[in-house]
Amino acid sequence: MDSSAPLPKPSANPSSGTSAVKEELRRTLRERRRGLSAQQQRTAAEALAGRVLAWLETNPAPATRRIAAYLSAPPEPGTEVLLPTLITAGYDVVVPVCEPRYQLSWVRWKPGVELARSPRAPLWEPVGERSSFTALTPFRLVLVPGLGMDVQGNRIGQGGGYYDRFLAQLVLEQPDAARLGYLYDEEVLPVGSIEATLLDMPLHGAFTPSGLRPTPPARSSSKSQTV
């Protein structure tokens, strides 16, 4: 991935130009992803799957084997290798469906599940019984999509707001659930790259092809588990 393009700097006045700065950062990060070849994307997907499985094996939690993941679309970091691998390893995988008012519901995923085009977002979603996340907790792991994360765990997503709302609810209901991004290496950004407010829920870290990038403990809730 070409990481030579400079990242836009946050506004000196947080109340002025915040949306414009975030949109410029999104544009830059999307352009970087589009520069990846199909082979590079596949190699990254395989490496990411290995990182997640290795983390699960070294951080056992026998009380739950449920994982909240998502269906990726190129050039996102791919989950097409990870999801069937998780099922084979005996995990219960759920993926999101976009609902009205920017809420998410969750459907169990398995290989061959029927998919339908979402009426609310440019993505495919599984067909099946929908559940609220509170009906599915506890989660062993929540994999969070996004365009980038800074080293303090601040995340920038696609701009829809679905995951912002979900993460805020998750922190209240299950603060100890591991919240980890799923990114390319170059998408873990320096401090100050992403504007954040007190309402934003920082991640505990992010999986990348080269390894897990945990965030400093000070950025996590005192009840959150170590990653």
38-219 CATH choice from 2.40.30.40, 3.20.20.210, 3.40.50.10420, 3.40.190.10? 3.40.50.10420
pLDDT tens per residue, range 50-63: 999 999 999 877 67
Measuring CA to CA, how many Å separate 109 from each of 30, 56, 130, 142, 221? 27, 18, 11, 14, 30
Measured between alpha carbons, how far is 223 from 185 in angstroms, rounded to an integer? 28
60 exposure class (CB count in 10 Å sphere: 0-12, 13-18, 19+)? exposed
Q: Tell me the pTM.
A: 0.87
Whether the predicted pLDDT of 3 surpasses 70: no
Measured between alpha carbons, how far is 163 from 158 in angstroms, rounded to an integer? 10
What mean pLDDT value characterizes the chain? 89
Confidence of residue 12 (pLDDT cuts 50, 70, 90): very low
Percent of the chain surpassing pLDDT 70 = 87
pLDDT of residue 199: 76
